[in-house]
Structure 1
Amino acid sequence: MYVPHLDTFPELVMYLHTKNQAELFRKIIPEWIRDLIHPPPLVPLPAPQAHSRPGPVPSPSGGATESCGMIKFLGLLVSGSSSTTSVDTTGSAISTPPSEPNRAVKNISEEIAQVFSTFSLTEEEDPLFQTAARLDALRDNLCHIGYFNRTLWNELDVCRDIVLRSISWKARLDME
């Protein structure tokens, strides 16, 4: 099977066989970062939306294409830029409670950056950059194989957002 990034392929194969999401993220994210992230802040999932027109939708070329539901489904697959665009292929209705105010993404990111600023590493050893790269590689591989489990994508997007914000906060701390 061809995937864009081989560095996360073994972890992805194990996840696809076991469906153990916690183990997948244990392999991708270093332990000290995972400890600061866990439990990840919960992001409210989008509610299903009713479609006003169940029939075919005219395409830009003038002909009818798919139904609104299929267009919406494809729009969710293509966009993929935020945690609210994930698709659950299992068809289960998942609801999440609101996150605790003290577990905000911003606070976790700042804490990771502050802890990391105490490390003395070179850029080649930077675990924040390596983690961000591995999360992006996992995301690309999941997109490539077409696996869109809502809970996996939400956790992936939250962890990725935290790590990217931590890199930004670390840069701010280094400039001060």
Structure 2
Amino acid sequence: MTHAHDASARRATSASGYDLGPLSAAEIDRLAAKLSPEERHILLDHGTERPFCGGLLANKEDGVYACRLCGLPLFRSGEKFESGTGWPSFFQPFDPAHVREIEDRSYGMVRIETRCARCDSHLGHVFPDGPPPTGLRYCMNSAALEFYPHGSEPKPDA
């Protein structure tokens, strides 16, 4: 058994069958080469796009929203709702293990930042003012997401 095989055997897998093993810095750099300057700023530098400007805000198609950097599925279209905030909003993730939550104390506020569990890219924030059944509002940057229409979404690794 090779060392590389040993490492891949220890990688974490979500309940929905996706590889959650952390990406190397080299792999993140390779994937980041395809990003626009705005996407890099949001995903890698924890930036925020202006409200009501994101390309996925008005999207009503059936499908899956995935991390723009690594392709990990993050939200389903059926979990999206109109929050009136100017950013795509969802009431729950595709799989809870796919979205990491981290306390964010920037700008004199205490918020919960959301990051991709696989590549650690910044996605947005989650707030406790969403609709039932969760009462949560995952407020995401369109530039952090890639939409896959139903039938074309990333497949599980398992």
Q: TM-score, normalised by structure 1?
A: 0.27
Q: Which has the higher strand share?
A: 2
Larger radius of gyration: 1
TM-score (norm 2): 0.29
Instruction: Using CA pairs under 8 Å that are at least 6 residues apart, name the structure with larger relative contact order, 1 or 2.
Output: 1
- Name whichever structure is richer in helix by fraction: 1
